[in-house]
Structure 1
Amino acid sequence: MRNDMYNRFELHRNWVDTSGQEGEQLRLQDVDFREFDISDICLEQSFMASCTFEDLSLSNMDFHASLTDVDISEARFEGVLFYGVTLRNIKGIEEANVQSIHVGSDDKPIILKGQEARDWLRMKAEESI
């Protein structure tokens, strides 16, 4: 299972790097990311449902993705890119350790910290309902 998942991560990175010409877009359901080292994993433009990121350090990750029914309880966010993200039914926003998130584009960077970042995550998740 682990090797298969890392192969899927690599196929997705290839898909992103080639603008969909090669590889395969990542679509995951019911994955507990605590079982994997995701520090160098490309998750941008992926679709994830019912996954858990509970208690993980998500520093400098790109979450330009679709996240539905995911659990971020106790996860640590620092420098995480959320520009273009779709959030639905996110669990654990209040319990997450949100240091800073980037919600703007490269041209217009917007960095939110602490409670302001948490409020943005909550608002963005409610917007998608």
Structure 2
Amino acid sequence: MTTDIKEIMDRLESHRLWIDTIGEQGDKLGIDEIDLRNVDLSQYPLDQAYITACAFDGMNLNHKDFSSSLLSSSTFISTNLEGADFCKSNVSYADFSYANIKAARLADSECIGTLFVKADLSDANLVAALFDETDFRNAILINADVRLATFERVLLKGAKLTGVQGLEEAFIKSINIGTPEQPNLLVGEEARIWLQDNCLSHE
């Protein structure tokens, strides 16, 4: 955690050059266990990067492009990510608790053990994403698009699911409407019916 801000900026600049020159110059960004909360990321691309176990908590990163990046175990607690692009990214074991992820794109992303507790995913694009033991407890998923997404052992207690789209095309293997300590697992068709009932429920 001792990496100084100037060194991080140099690496971000090198990554920008790497993207601009399609890999001819610069270096692909690879950082681990870096606190980025005091770094101004507004001018730098963060797609196609390796950014593991880094802290983005409470930052304003609306419309940021994180596509095709490895972001596993990073934290985005209470971060503003409205309209951000996580397409084809790996956010397994990342923590998005209390984050604003409205209208963000998580299409084709990998979310194994990811925390979205009390996060706002209204209107998010979750098409073809993999959700395995993902924690959506008390999250807002109003009007989210889940076509072709896979749900396995996904925690949904208290989640707002009104208007979720594409359920009939999603792969619903199992959902947990209990807690990790006291699971209440619904499998297959039973899980799908529970989801459909809750999508039609009142806000």
Q: Could you state the TM-score of these two structures normalised by the residue count of structure 2?
A: 0.52
Task: Please tell me whether Structure 1 or Structure 2 has the larger radius of gyration of its CA atoms.
Answer: 2
Is 2:20 the partner of 1:17?
yes
| CA offset digits 1:29-56 (Å, max 9, x no partner) | 1111111011111111000111011001
- Per residue, is there more helix in 1 or in 2? 1
Query: Could you tell me which of 49, 53, 56 is aligned with 1:53?
Result: 56
What's 1:110 paired with? none
Give how far 1:10 is off: 0.5
Q: Aligned runs of 1:26-65 on 2, under 5 Å?
A: 26-64=29-67, 65=69
- Runs of 4 or more off by more than 4 Å in structure 1? 118-122, 124-127
Q: Aligned runs of 1:76-87 on 2, under 5 Å?
A: 76-87=80-91
Range that drifts further, 80-89 or 10-19: 80-89
The 1:6/1:101 distance shift into structure 2, 3 A limit, reads same
Is contact 1:98-1:118 (8 Å) kept?
no
Give how far 1:104 is off: 5.2
What's 2:79 paired with? 75
Q: Distance in 2 between matches of 1:25 and 1:8?
A: 8
- Give the % identical residues: 24
Greater RCO (Cα-Cα under 8 Å, separation 6 or more): 1
Q: Distance in 2 between matches of 1:80 and 1:125?
A: 23
Alignment-mate amino acid for residue 34 of structure 1: R
- Per residue, is there more strand in 1 or in 2? 1
Q: Distance in 1 between matches of 2:48 and 2:38?
A: 21
